[in-house]
Structure 1
């Protein structure tokens, strides 16, 4: 008798509590419990993939790769279009489950994240059609530069937006002709199980799309150590990335690492303070569990007081509560361990003499909710200035001129994003001097799938988006055809 696959009931939706390997649902391994950050209620148990199952997922992906690669971009297109459609068909399930599982605002999931997840699959599938051989003509030959599929790609995603980031990586990997093995975050794994259900419904061939659940030091470690991988794409913390990079180096496997940061939010003296303050308050979205948030506010001393009062007035009106409530603007911190980490940063900053402008304590709504917090009067080398908190805790410094603003902006080991408010020409001149992967002028959060995304320094290695993703998920090959008769000679160069 076939063993029934267990399911978890989340709201009105059933989630398969199993791995998806080589086109089959597999319920094996010791289980770990999954809790909702909304109220710390247990959502159920998920299995931890054994070493043998992780290896089997890579084996299946490797076996499926040649046929999937041979389809070409046009042959893969209908599969990926159906995959995107299947995500849309499950939009309400994704929204309910990921809101319970990761504490993300239900409204943001419905109107932003889930449509984007489907677009991640569809856009890259269509973009792959344009990856024609690039011709380079030299005096000796015609060169045809190809994007060949690389092989099996390991994808490891974080807990702050599992669905969006899984599709952001899997979309270009699959469109380029690779097979994938996804390791979801153990604190928020359920959305990736629904994603596997969508892949199955779309008819993605067995072995092309795989999901193995488990913890980083066990399942994740076994996955990235597999020498048969061709690529590893990881989003998460710097310490974990260093472990992955070291293991990958032993097998010479290319890595793409997106690691968050401590991005500057610069307010120049000629900024629109109302817009800057409103955008500043947006940095608390998802309880600032967002890698690209501007968390170091650098404000010109001439406008500091006015800016603080404008932003304070907005922050005081923010609604903190259940992310399933459409009125809520800030939800919970993901997990008690993360909550303790955030609280620790706040208490150490207080003890070091930093001055609170607002917040600085838990919010009474529930055990994992924290008040939006802003510190000021801090030394440039203070922990709260230099380290990523990944919670609703911001810090403000002042500057007297552009040179000081740039110096402070660049005074960190990170370099992911940035924000700069001011007269457009002035803001652009400052922004171009900031060492970062991207920076918004008088705006925040504008993204396009064709544009590069990634950081400098400790914020990571590589770029994602558009052709930049295809460069990573492909093996670039030069096919050389001589333009004159070739003579085989030891004297020939």
Structure 2
């Protein structure tokens, strides 16, 4: 292991920034710690305003050439990046599991293949991106998507590479250059992606990676006057700070923020399916923005649902995420574990009852929190209204369809909702009334990149996916041509 390289389970990772096609070290570093056992993975270059400015300058310099690159060539390079990801799925899976403690089996089978798919999808979408010409009083209208310029992308720690590439791929496909600021708790796979992109032939400066803290590197990036787009996935308070910074330069922003999504279970639902959907919300130790953490169950089936839920949840195995048999790993950081337990203990003190869980898993120690289901919670309580981002669910009951909808919509969020019912007409009535960017009926987490994704209310601003991504990452232009007036200069 060299001065600027760390090794994770045999995989070498460069700890420096990637700026203008070169590895750049900072004078200061921060320690990257594995949530699995608290071990230090290595010292990571800690970016400041200096590195941020250098990355924006590199992106600005590379922009004209990349923007002028033919669509087919941009798509070819994105496919080459996807090929590089495919070749290194095992390395990426191992490194990310050590870095954020999500399940290794999930990284191998789902997450990292999705990273490659992100690049392929937007490369292919670029090639068919067009708007049908239309006429206005004999004049021809032609809509085009022009690259906007350098884009700052700030991504979270719960699915670091997948969520980063969901932004990187359309931004690059659109002809923009990118400065990625990965979460400081999970910087490693972003560094590996920089290597993969360079090997695929992406020109220097088109993709830049600046590591560090939000208050330092992040703030300098979103405040920079040469940045033309900012996309952020994370918390509401941070989004407000980014919005204030971007407003000074009138930079368009896209935010995918918190959620407090409901799962509505009606008496006519397939109860076993409903229970499976509810227990699935513990995925990734509850660190999923889309998770339906508020379970709303019709009164007549609440007791039976709760009994079956407890039985199903008891079959989950909590432990080392590298073990193929593990269903729940640890949470990301001691600060996050403290936050989760704080929510639960305050709820219990206020009268909530823990059907299961309710405390850290002292048998395992470390950052493991027991899967928790709380009942007897008030609608206006903190545990119902605020995002916990851990393996903590609440259960409330309703008597009527109208009450179910009212409870579901009664938060400041609106990211997603899940509905379990055997009545198609009810499904249509209820989904039409739910405030959410995505609604699943008798299913969960079925996602297609051609569909719009984003949140309502304080769950976000804008939509990502398909043409919606290009609408954000481009300046849309309409060219209107008169039917007459051409002169032949031949």
TM range (shorter): over 0.9
Give the aligned partner of residue 42 of structure 1.
40
Contact 1:5–1:18 (CA<8 Å) still a contact in 2? no
Q: Partners of 2:308 and 2:47 in 1: how far apart?
A: 50
Structure 1 residue corresponding to 2:222, chosen from 208, 221, 224: 224
| SS of match in other structure, 2:415 | coil
Contact 1:286–1:330 (CA<8 Å) still a contact in 2? yes
Deviations 1:92-118 (A, max 9, x none): 110100000000100000000000000
CA shift, 1:484, in A, is 4.9
Task: Return 5+ residue gaps in structure 1 as ranges.
Answer: 487-493
Give the aligned partner of residue 449 of structure 1.
449
Deviations 1:60-98 (A, max 9, x none): 101111111111311211111111111111111101000
CA shift, 1:28, in A, is 1.7
Structure 2 residue corresponding to 1:357, chosen from 352, 355, 370: 355
1:236-251 correspondence to structure 2 within 5 Å: 236-251=234-249
Contact 1:153–1:179 (CA<8 Å) still a contact in 2? yes
Give the aligned partner of residue 383 of structure 1.
382
Deviations 1:211-253 (A, max 9, x none): 0000011010001000111100000000000000011011000
Alignment of 1:435 onto 2:435: yes
Contact 1:38–1:323 (CA<8 Å) still a contact in 2? yes
Deviations 1:149-197 (A, max 9, x none): 1111100000001100111000100001000000000011111111111
Q: Partners of 1:358 and 1:222 in 2: how far apart?
A: 44
Q: Partners of 2:164 and 2:323 in 1: how far apart?
A: 25
CA shift, 1:366, in A, is 2.5
Give the aligned partner of residue 133 of structure 2.
135
Alignment of 1:169 onto 2:178: no
Deviations 1:244-270 (A, max 9, x none): 001101100000000021000000110
Q: Partners of 1:483 and 1:201 in 2: how far apart?
A: 48
| SS of match in other structure, 1:404 | helix
Give the aligned partner of residue 150 of structure 1.
148
Q: Partners of 2:400 and 2:28 in 1: how far apart?
A: 58
Deviations 1:27-61 (A, max 9, x none): 12300001100011111110111212110110110
Q: Partners of 1:50 and 1:350 in 2: how far apart?
A: 42
Give the aligned partner of residue 395 of structure 1.
394
Alignment of 1:471 onto 2:477: no
Q: Partners of 2:202 and 2:124 in 1: how far apart?
A: 16
Q: Partners of 1:439 and 1:108 in 2: how far apart?
A: 23
Give the aligned partner of residue 159 of structure 1.
157
TM-score of the two chains, using structure 1 as the length reference: 0.97
CA shift, 1:365, in A, is 1.3
Structure 2 residue corresponding to 1:110, chosen from 98, 108, 124: 108
Task: Return 5+ residue gaps in structure 2 as ranges.
Answer: none
**Segment drifting more, 113-122 vs 420-429:** 420-429
| SS of match in other structure, 1:432 | helix
CA shift, 1:132, in A, is 2.7
Alignment of 1:25 onto 2:18: no
Give the aligned partner of residue 404 of structure 2.
405
**Segment drifting more, 399-408 vs 81-90:** 81-90
**Segment drifting more, 243-252 vs 50-59:** 50-59
Q: Partners of 2:48 and 2:379 in 1: how far apart?
A: 46
Structure 2 residue corresponding to 1:180, chosen from 178, 187, 193: 178
| SS of match in other structure, 1:242 | helix
Contact 2:17–2:210 (CA<8 Å) still a contact in 1? yes
Alignment of 1:368 onto 2:367: yes
Contact 2:51–2:217 (CA<8 Å) still a contact in 1? no
Give the aligned partner of residue 209 of structure 1.
207
| SS of match in other structure, 1:303 | helix
1:248-267 correspondence to structure 2 within 5 Å: 248-267=246-265
| SS of match in other structure, 2:215 | helix
Alignment of 1:277 onto 2:295: no
Contact 1:141–1:484 (CA<8 Å) still a contact in 2? no
Alignment of 1:461 onto 2:464: no
| SS of match in other structure, 1:205 | coil
Count of paired positions: 483
Structure 1's consecutive aligned runs of 4 or more residues displaced over 4 angstroms after TM superposition are none
Contact 1:39–1:366 (CA<8 Å) still a contact in 2? no
Q: Partners of 1:237 and 1:274 in 2: how far apart?
A: 33
Give the aligned partner of residue 490 of structure 1.
none
